[in-house]
């Protein structure tokens, strides 16, 4: 399962990056991106929290 950030909605303020820095990162162009790799099992709960905490509802999970 991979996380993805919809750039159309993301404001890049970094709530998700603060919660799960191993999955959500600040790219060189200032956008917030999810790493391309699958979310490790031990971080799935944290990613779910990030999804629920995202003020722009910009995070999705891809199976």
Least distance CB 39 / ligand SF4 (angstroms): 14
When binding is defined by CB under 6 A, the residue of 3, 23, 47, 59 that contacts ligand SF4 is 59
12 binds ligand SF4 (CB under 6 A): yes
What is the DSSP-derived secondary structure letter of residue 44? Answer: H
Asked if residue 32 lies in contact with residue 14, where contact means CB atoms within 8 angstroms, the answer is: yes
**Does residue 11 contact residue 59 with C-beta atoms inside 8 Å?**
no
Coil, helix or strand for 19? Answer: helix
Does 13 participate in binding ligand SF4 (rule CB under 6 A)? yes
Binding site for ligand SF4 (CB under 6 A): 5, 10-16, 24, 32, 54-56, 58-59
């Amino acid at each position: 399962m991979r996380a993805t950030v919809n750039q159309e909605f993301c404001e890049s303020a970094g709530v998700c990056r603060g919660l799960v820095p191993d999955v959500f990162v600040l790219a060189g162009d200032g956008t917030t991106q999810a790493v391309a790799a699958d979310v490790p099992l031990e971080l799935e709960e944290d990613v779910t929290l990030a999804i629920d905490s995202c003020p722009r509802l910009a995070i999705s999970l891809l199976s």
